[in-house]
Amino acid sequence: MCCHRIPRCAQRGPSDWANQEDRWLHEVVLRIEGPAGLGEIARATCRLHDLRAWCEALAVQQQRGEDLPERLERAWRASPSLLRLQRWLGSSETSQRMRERATQALAVCPWQAQRQRALLHLLAADPVAASGADKDCFTNQLAVSACCR
């Protein structure tokens, strides 16, 4: 890292801020070469926004440890929400693993979380249950609506 150059870079003015092209370049380099590619750009140009992009990529890389799916699952189980469920399922490496997680989640998903349950049924390849057209789901909905009158 070019630590001796950082103060010089930090002294540059507003003209050094990233434009849309630079942000796209950072995104492409990150996807193709990873944080190492951004590091090369930052060391070569020593521009503040290049250094920032590299630091952000390193921070994200550190946060995405091997235990990310487990942490996301724990967060969803502790407080089920559609967003947390999507994050957890989205961390699946393969579609098969996502279906397995969806099946596991169906067993513990609160009955009242109908949108989450519908998504889980779709991912578990059960579109009839996802639509709420199955008999048990319809009966349960009638019972709840009768109870709440």
What does the pLDDT look like over 34-73, one tens digit per residue? 888 889 998 998 888 888 888 888 887 776 666 778 888 9
pLDDT at 10 over 70: no
b/e code 107-120 from CB counts within 10 Å (16+ = b): eebeeeeeebbbbb
Q: What is the pLDDT of residue 85?
A: 93
| 14 C-beta neighbours (distance < 10 Å), count | 5
| Torsions phi, psi for 32 (to 5 deg) | -90, -50
98 Cβ contact list (under 8 Å, min separation 6): 89, 92, 123
pTM reported for the whole predicted model:
0.47
Contacts of 89 (CB under 8 A, 6+ apart): 98, 101, 102, 105, 123
Q: Does residue 139 have a pLDDT over 70? A: no
> In which band, very low, low, confident or very high, does the pLDDT at 82 lie, cut at 50, 70 and 90?
very high
Query: How far is residue 136's CA from residue 3's CA, in Å, rounded to a whole number?
Result: 64
Sign of CA dihedral 20, 24, 66, 93: positive
